[in-house]
Amino acid sequence: MEEQLLQLKQDALVKVKEACDLKELNDIRVAYLGKKGPITEALKGMGKLSAEERPKMGALANEVRGAVASAIEEKQAVLEKEAVAKKLAAETLDVTLPGRPVNIGNHHPLTRVVEEVEDLFIGMGYTVAEGPEVEKDYYNFEALNLPKGHPARDMQDSFYITEDILLRTHTSPVQARTMEKHEGKGPVKIICPGKVYRRDSDDATHSHQFMQIEGLVIDEHIRMSDLKGTLNAFAKKLFGEDREIRLRPSFFPFTEPSVEMDISCMICKGEGCSVCKRTGWIEILGAGMVHPNVLEMAGFDSKKYSGFAFGMGAERIAMLKYGVDDIRHFYTNDTRFLHQFHEHE
Ligand code: PHE
């Protein structure tokens, strides 16, 4: 029996030493020290021994059990430590790795143009005014000296909703509404950006919906030279100090006289290129002195007050400023196009 116990101890200690994880170690514990294990069995068989041998064997069995138990305990501590180290190694974070970039948006190029133009005019003392996109025929046409049946209404093919309501074809109705609110008292100095709608077939330079930015100034003694000076300052600030402007006679029912403004081509500096169609000049906006009928209809005394107005397409400005060759890019919202206009790059 003594031999058996010593052999047992040796086997157990070898197995404990070789155990490579906590589960294996636990299996060894159950196998050797469990209730059905060989040491318990040996102790049970103690009754068959002589009285002399019994205490000796008893002590030996206890010694074997103690040795195996403490070997297991020691090994357990080692394995537990190893398990923690392994887990930590697996969970290591490399804090020096670059993070994933957060996809931040940017302003739409049209928003940028509108805000830039707004800022320029705010700097000259203007305020921003807005109005409805679904507009009354009265404000869109009649109050602007375009009575029903007037042939010039054909200049702006319209989307009618009812006979008297339409999608505004320009932002001039905001001017009519603002003038009316002023109840015949100047000064009025506003800039009106917003979406407008016309029955146009979409192509590289036309869109049935686009953005306009219009301005209006009404006060005593406002003259054509004020309009010219304002537009000159505006063109230089937006397109560069070396821009020249030129005014050509034109026609709008709500202004008299009416003009169209060109700026000297910023690409070829007046030499002639494909952008300016070899003329050296690029048309930018329409403008004029507010027609006396328009002033009177809005409640202003046209003998005392005069004013000027101008209007431009935000898309056209953006296309020229950023070199965009197709107006449809502004509306298809391809992020590859839009991301080129990141303010921070
Ligand atoms: N409302 C005009 C248009 O859409 C532009 C304009 C505004 C012209 C103000 C003159 C004065 O064509």
Q: Are 298 and 172 in contact (CB under 8 A)?
A: no
How many angstroms does the Cα of residue 211 sit away from the middle of ligand 1?
12
Residue located nearest, by CA, to atom 9 of ligand 1: 310
The predicted-structure confidence for 273-301, as pLDDT tens digits, reads as follows 888 889 999 999 999 999 999 999 999 99
How many angstroms does the Cα of residue 212 sit away from the middle of ligand 1?
9
d(CA 126, CA 129) in angstroms, rounded, equals: 9
Mean pLDDT of the chain: 90
Residue 344 has pLDDT above 60, yes or no: no
CATH architecture of 109-344: 2-Layer Sandwich (3.30)
Q: β-strand 209-220 against 134-136: which pairing, if any?
A: unpaired
Segments in 34-159 forming alpha helices (H): 38-44, 53-90, 109-122, 137-140
In this prediction, residue 40 has a pLDDT band, given cuts at 50, 70 and 90, of confident
How many angstroms does the Cα of residue 171 sit away from the middle of ligand 1?
8
Binding-site residue positions: 256
Average pLDDT, stretch 170-181? 95
Residue at 257: amino acid letter: P
Ligand 1 pocket test target in 166, 214, 251 with most atoms within 8 Å of CB: 214
Alpha carbon dihedral 159, 164, 168, 172, in 10-degree steps, equals: 140
The residue among 249 and 50 whose pLDDT is bigger is 249
Domain boundaries, the chain: 2-90, 109-344
Residue 325 has pLDDT above 80, yes or no: yes
- Of 51-55, 107-111, 320-324, the poorest mean pLDDT is in 51-55
Atom of ligand 1 nearest to the CA of 169: 4
Residue 54 has pLDDT above 60, yes or no: yes
In this prediction, residue 345 has a pLDDT band, given cuts at 50, 70 and 90, of very low
Q: Pocket around ligand 1: residues whose beta carbon is below 6 Å from it?
A: 170, 172, 214, 252, 255, 286-288, 309-311
Question: Which secondary-structure segment (H or E) carries 103?
Answer: none
Binding-site residue positions for Mg(2+): 256
pLDDT of residue 182: 95
The residue among 13 and 127 whose pLDDT is bigger is 127
Q: Please give the model's pTM, rounded to 2 decimal places.
A: 0.72
Residue 343 has pLDDT above 80, yes or no: no
Instruction: At 9, list the tokens.
Output: 């101890």
How many angstroms does the Cα of residue 285 sit away from the middle of ligand 1?
8
The residue among 48 and 118 whose pLDDT is bigger is 118
